[in-house]
C-alpha cells in the first residue's frame, strides 16, 4: 500500500485484505492474494472508502508530483500478476 496527502487529507492506496508473503501467497495458506482496489481517506477523523479496479497491491511507494498529482508504479494485480504499469492518480 502507498500513502499520500491531498488537501491535508491522508490517503492509503492499494493493499490486500489478507496478509501475505513476498511471493503474493497469503500467510494463512489460502493461496494467492488479490488487490482490495481500495483508496482509504482520513479526513476530520472520519474514514471514507473509494474503489478503483486498477489499483494494485504490494506498492512500495508513491511519487508525489504536487498536491493533486501522484504516480504509483508496478505492484501486483489480479491473479498475482506482477505489473509494470505506471498509474497516474489525480485529484481536483
**pLDDT value for 2:** 92
The count of domains in the chain is 1
Please give the residue range of the domain that contains residue 41. Answer: 2-90
**pLDDT value for 92:** 82
What are the tens digits of pLDDT across the range 14-70? 999 999 988 889 999 999 999 999 999 998 899 999 988 889 999 988 999 999 999
Rounded to 5 degrees, φ, ψ at 32 are: -70, 150
Amino acid at each position: 500500500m502507498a500513502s499520500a496527502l491531498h488537501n491535508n487529507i491522508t490517503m492509503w492506496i492499494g493493499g490486500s485484505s489478507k496478509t501475505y508473503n513476498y511471493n503474493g501467497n497469503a500467510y494463512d495458506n489460502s493461496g494467492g492474494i488479490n488487490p482490495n482496489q481500495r483508496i482509504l481517506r482520513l479526513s476530520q477523523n472520519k474514514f471514507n472508502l473509494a474503489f478503483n479496479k486498477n489499483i494494485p497491491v504490494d506498492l512500495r511507494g508513491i511519487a508525489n508530483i504536487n498536491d493533486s498529482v501522484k504516480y504509483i508504479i508496478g505492484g501486483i494485480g489480479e491473479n498475482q500478476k506482477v505489473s509494470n504499469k505506471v498509474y497516474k492518480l489525480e485529484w481536483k
